[in-house]
Structure 1
Amino acid sequence: MDVSAEQVATLDELVDLAQSVQRSITSMQAGLDGVLALASRWAMEAAGDVDEVDLTFRSVAAELGAVLRVSDRTVQRRMSDAEVKVDRFPVVWQAQGAGRISAGHARVIVDAGDYLEDPAAREAYSVRVLEFAEHESPNRLRPIAARLAAQYQARSLQERHEDARQKRAVWVTDVPDGMAELGVRGPAVLVHGVFDRLTAMAKAVDADASACEDRDAPEDPRMLSQTRADLALDLLLTGAPAGHDTPDVLLAAISGQVSVTVPVLTLMGAEDAGTPAPELDGRCPIDPATARLLAGAATGWDRVLTHPITGGLLAVDRYRPGESLRRHLRARDQRCRFLCCGMPVRRSDLDHTQDAALGGATEEGNLEALCRRHHILKHHTPWHVEQLPDGLLEWTSPTGRVYIDQPPAQNTVTFTDTDPPPDTEPPDNPWANPPPRHLTPF
């Protein structure tokens, strides 16, 4: 690379600037951790009664989440993490505040040493690991921190493993282009055993495909990792849980369920750039071919009629009798209507805005979807909600701040004033030119 001295000097200045900005960001993140830790302490002190601690934390987290524009669940986790860092690892927090290490370094150090119960051992561990953290990246620091923490740990690995098993979990992360990631945390022996079995099965499938080449069988184009992923999903969706099934084998009969919204034009085969993509549970787009396959295999679906100009919800009907109001609200709300919450409506409650026991009517203008967490928050904390026209919810926080939550936009086709007006006369074939709508298989 042939560059001039001036270009080298410019690059040097950019590197210095990047380092300075990064230190400022790191310091501000440490400052926010301090604020969140103080909020956590305030919630603990304000609760008074042990039974009120959880609701108080939820209320405080909801207030912070509203102004930070993130889910209150996320804020509550960050409050807990910040309190651990500030109270249990003050040396690490101070190093982050001074810009000596990043938030990623601090997270690695805290995660590795979180099980150290003796304050003196934690401080000694923190000082020792910081010597490496200032010169290593977070990913290189992780094994170093684990080894150092073990040197200050009085408990055996067996004891620590028993505690760690309590954190086993499964989670889903949405990624672009109609895809998602499934994560599993469990005992290392079992997780690696699962991966090894999937790998062996994938190789067997590949070997079988190779053996079939002489019989003019179609070639399997999948790579090993793709076959492994297909096998994992196949087993999880159709396999029997042998280790957990009931004596009458009821678990094996349970199948997975999803809710998909599909614009009617997509069902008719339109896939141009102007056609809205099908959506899974209001969370992420999915490919049209999968959406059409699900719609065709569904035993029934809701039809959602929308305004051709605004896209607003007009009505919901079904080809079989059912609970029309519930279907209408599920289609309108799509997810929990508390601020920043994305819990799907199928996992939420239908709540009366004005309590039914106090005369609140069971009608669209007095009902909204709330997940169980925020349903409880509404009834047992100072948070208050009023429903405005067009499904708008006006939330008032304990500090008096007012926030407006709008129902999600419908996944539909809309038209502008420049579009040709719809036919005023009904066509001979009612399906030849259907009104804008989308379908929700179940």
Structure 2
Amino acid sequence: MVDRAALEEMTEDEVLGFAGDCVDTARRAEADLLRAAFQWAVLHSSDRLDPAERDLPGRERSKLLGGPGVPEVTEFAAAELGARIGRSTFSAAMLIADAQDLVHRHPQLWARVEAGEVKASYACYVVGKTRELEPDEAAYVDARVAESADGRIPWSRFEGLVEGAVAQAAPERAREKEERAQKAVFAKRLRGEAHGMASFLVRADVATIEAIESGFARQADALKESRPDDPDLATDDLRRVRAVLLAATGLDADGDLADVIHVEFVVHTYAGPDAEGVMRLEGHGPVTEEWVRSLLGPRARFTIQPVMDLAGQAPVDGYEVPDRHRRAVHLMTPADIFPFASSTSRSMQVDHTVPYDEGGVTGIGNYGPMTIPHHRIKTHGGWQVQQPFPGIYVWRDPHGAFYVVDHTGTRRVPSAPARRAPMVELWRAPFPIEYAA
């Protein structure tokens, strides 16, 4: 690693050379990570599973991650790899699949990755596009694209090359995809928007979209003629959005939208002297108080719920989780508590951190939301977890690595934490830690 002082002493040629070395180092590291993922798959062959437990409820099974012809791996393997490299279980499973496909199904591409001639990202794109193909079909694509995968052509042209090679390798499959695409019509809201904005996408055949476009254009022109001085309809885009809204609600241009639109938002905010002026719109993200006041205020009806005392929720004498506890858990911990997990669904299972049948209470401080796969991994995969404080989870993977998960995300804990860390004392009972001198 070169420090800033050394960089400041470099000439232009030396800086360029250093930058090139950084790219080469990153490329080698990406190839090494794929090698590690492949070896992890080898070590977690389905042969290591106990046949006597394979069919028991919730137990680990074998799973095909890569394409046809690739060996299956144990189902929980991706969770351990993902946590160690700071990725979700799904992302680690895709890394394993990419590595297996490259080694078993794309030997020419893999050879160029190992030689440092092709970026791992290019290779992984190819194997992702060919995962459904049979081994001989994948080999055809491998031979067609391996030479051009080294960046000699722009990315857009490379995408086109891969798409064409996949279609040529399996023309009947390509036609099946076209037929499925014709049926895959939808009209839905998109995710990932911010700053109080969102998008609604309609996907249909070209003729239908042309008809929709023409209809909204006519409606927008009518709005321009009927309300030329309305500042909310000052641009063509604003008029088109209003045309879509009117068509969806069945109102005419002068109707009161509040009479027909019933939309429910959950807005989390803080009151009092410590208020920060920013609220969280559930399912969307942070918005300012001014946005809520100016945009939602004139258009929405509000129901104000009382403040929920998260810490004061009385436990219950039973296994079932009361609804009020589920609401409190969601407010305290809205995301899956497994290391580096990403789900924020309200439908996740609420797990007892300490199992109920082992003395765990049904109450705040002993709950954690998890998806079903992560719940199974926690129960049967050799992982351990404690909740020293409500909403703070300390995990240990089967190989002894520690992770802390809280509302800010996941952090890896050093294997020998310093004595000054106050939480360490709370972790010692179920999984002892050796302290640094």
What range is the shorter-chain TM-score in? 0.5 to 0.7
CA distance in 1 between counterparts of 2:190 and 2:232 reads 32
Change (3 A) 1:327 1:117: closer
Contact 2:386 2:395 in 1 (8 A): yes
Query: Paired residue for 2:361?
Result: 361
Q: Cα offset for 1:35?
A: 1.6
Q: Which of 149, 152, 162 lines up with 1:133 in the alignment?
A: 149
Superposed CA deviations along residues 297-335 of structure 1, whole A, max 9, x for unmatched, are: 344524146xxxxxxx65579xxxx95433333322222
Confirm whether residue 34 of structure 1 aligns to residue 35 of structure 2. yes
| DSSP-derived class of the 2:146 partner | helix
Structure 1 unaligned runs (5+)?
1-8, 240-254, 306-312, 410-442
CA distance in 1 between counterparts of 2:38 and 2:200 reads 31
| DSSP-derived class of the 1:344 partner | coil
**Aligned partner of 1:200: which letter?**
S
Alignment of 1:12-161 (within 5 A): 14-45=15-46, 46-47=48-49, 49=51, 51=55, 52-53=60-61, 57=74, 59-119=76-136, 121-134=137-150, 135-153=152-170, 155=172, 157-161=174-178
Confirm whether residue 177 of structure 1 aligns to residue 195 of structure 2. yes
Superposed CA deviations along residues 252-278 of structure 1, whole A, max 9, x for unmatched, are: xxx876543122369xxx9xxx82521
TM-score for the superposition, normalised by structure 1: 0.66
Q: Cα offset for 1:168?
A: 9.3
Contact 2:277 2:289 in 1 (8 A): no
| DSSP-derived class of the 1:387 partner | strand
Alignment of 1:311-326 (within 5 A): 315=312, 323-326=323-326
Query: Paired residue for 1:252?
Result: none
Contact 1:28 1:97 in 2 (8 A): no
Contact 1:61 1:72 in 2 (8 A): yes
When you count helix as a share of all residues, which structure comes out higher? 1
Confirm whether residue 209 of structure 1 aligns to residue 210 of structure 2. no
Contact 1:260 1:278 in 2 (8 A): yes
Query: Paired residue for 2:431?
Result: none
| DSSP-derived class of the 1:347 partner | coil
CA distance in 2 between counterparts of 1:361 and 1:127 reads 59
Q: Cα offset for 1:32?
A: 1.0
Q: Which has the higher contact order (CA 8 A, sep 6+)?
A: 1
CA distance in 1 between counterparts of 2:189 and 2:113 reads 30
Q: Cα offset for 1:218?
A: 4.5
Change (3 A) 1:15 1:375: same
Superposed CA deviations along residues 79-102 of structure 1, whole A, max 9, x for unmatched, are: 223322332213212222323222
Q: Cα offset for 1:62?
A: 2.2
| DSSP-derived class of the 1:335 partner | coil
CA distance in 1 between counterparts of 2:98 and 2:243 reads 36
| DSSP-derived class of the 2:370 partner | strand
Q: Cα offset for 1:10?
A: 6.0
Query: Paired residue for 2:381?
Result: 381
Q: Cα offset for 1:207?
A: 1.2
**Aligned partner of 2:405: which letter?**
D
Contact 2:392 2:405 in 1 (8 A): yes
CA distance in 1 between counterparts of 2:224 and 2:271 reads 42
Count of aligned pairs between the two proteins? 363
Q: Cα offset for 1:57?
A: 4.8
Contact 1:57 1:76 in 2 (8 A): no
**Aligned partner of 1:143: which letter?**
G
Q: Cα offset for 1:140?
A: 1.4
Query: Paired residue for 2:234?
Result: 221
Root-mean-square deviation (Å): 4.3
Alignment of 1:182-201 (within 5 A): 190=204, 192=206, 195-201=209-215
Confirm whether residue 286 of structure 1 aligns to residue 287 of structure 2. yes
Contact 1:44 1:57 in 2 (8 A): yes
CA distance in 2 between counterparts of 1:15 and 1:168 reads 49
| DSSP-derived class of the 2:81 partner | helix
Change (3 A) 1:74 1:365: same
CA distance in 1 between counterparts of 2:182 and 2:271 reads 47
Q: Cα offset for 1:350?
A: 2.1
**Aligned partner of 2:371: which letter?**
C
Query: Paired residue for 1:328?
Result: 328
Contact 1:171 1:182 in 2 (8 A): yes
CA distance in 2 between counterparts of 1:171 and 1:31 reads 39
Change (3 A) 1:191 1:264: farther
TM-score for the superposition, normalised by structure 2: 0.67
CA distance in 1 between counterparts of 2:271 and 2:346 reads 22
CA distance in 2 between counterparts of 1:162 and 1:343 reads 32
**Aligned partner of 1:22: which letter?**
V
Structure 2 unaligned runs (5+)?
1-9, 64-72, 251-261, 315-321, 410-437
| DSSP-derived class of the 2:153 partner | coil
Contact 2:343 2:371 in 1 (8 A): yes
